[in-house]
Amino acid sequence: SFPRGVRPSNGCAFLGGRGARSSLHVDPYEWTGFNYQLDGGPSAKRWVLLRAASQQHEQQLRTILNAYQRAPVAWDDETFQLGTGWESPLDLYAANNDDNGDGDEEMRMKKMEKMVERKEIKVREVVQSDGELVVIPPKWWHQTYYEAPAVSVAGQYMSRMNAESILMHVATFCDVRNAAQLVKDTLDHYDRQVEGAGDDCGDVSDDEDGDSVVVEARTNAVLRVFQAALTTKHGKKKGAQLYQELLSL
């Protein structure tokens, strides 16, 4: 449903050696992410996932993490500028490499620990082994650490369950006026089309005609929000040009 020019690949292979680690980050567009470990043995990779308990605490957490926004250059070279992710220089696994960081980093870690104690941050720690799938919900900060060499396949996806989060991210990032209403109206229209396809075709999951209606409705919903986002972000003329370019990719 996402136009090819801003769509991540279906899956990427990740290889990490012992002691390797990712940055602490939030995935672009507020996707739902997944990571499946193919090889590495038991308990090869560790995860920490963080999520603020409220919008107020989210801003506080970003300040503590010294967070900054980062465009998804892997699948958008900043031509369209429809969304962003978040990055933090803080390393939650510094102690694992006998690297305790500087005084500022230690202070930030202590502030975050106090937020955890006050239940202002939700924390999940995961140990991943071969054949196990880790799902990263939208808006969750996460960082990985390799206890042993491991190979994984990872990617992101959009479904009806996370569509509102993704489309709201695009609309608000681009400062679309009445973003919440636009997304609500768009998804309501999508739901009515899908419901109508089910009435006409029976079980849409088992019917090719029903499937084509669902795919078309889903694509139109995404494009409606993207068109408004590009026009708002880049101006009417350039936004229209970028929208046509997006459709042609």
Identify the pLDDT of residue 74.
60
Q: Residue 28 has what pLDDT? A: 87
Confidence of residue 212 (pLDDT cuts 50, 70, 90): confident
- Residue pointed to by tokens 């849409």: 204
Alpha-carbon distance 104 to 88, whole Å? 13
Least confident of 56-70, 79-93, 207-221: 207-221
What 3 state SS string does 103-159 have?
Answer: HHHHHHHHHHHHHHHCCCEEEEEEEECCCCEEEECCCCEEEEEECCCEEEEEEEECC
The yes-or-no verdict on residue 201 having pLDDT over 50 is no
What percent of the chain shows pLDDT beyond 90? 64
Distance CA 226, CA 87 (A): 24
pTM: 0.85
State the average pLDDT over residues 231-243.
Answer: 95
What CA–CA distance (Å, rounded) separates 144 from 239? 38
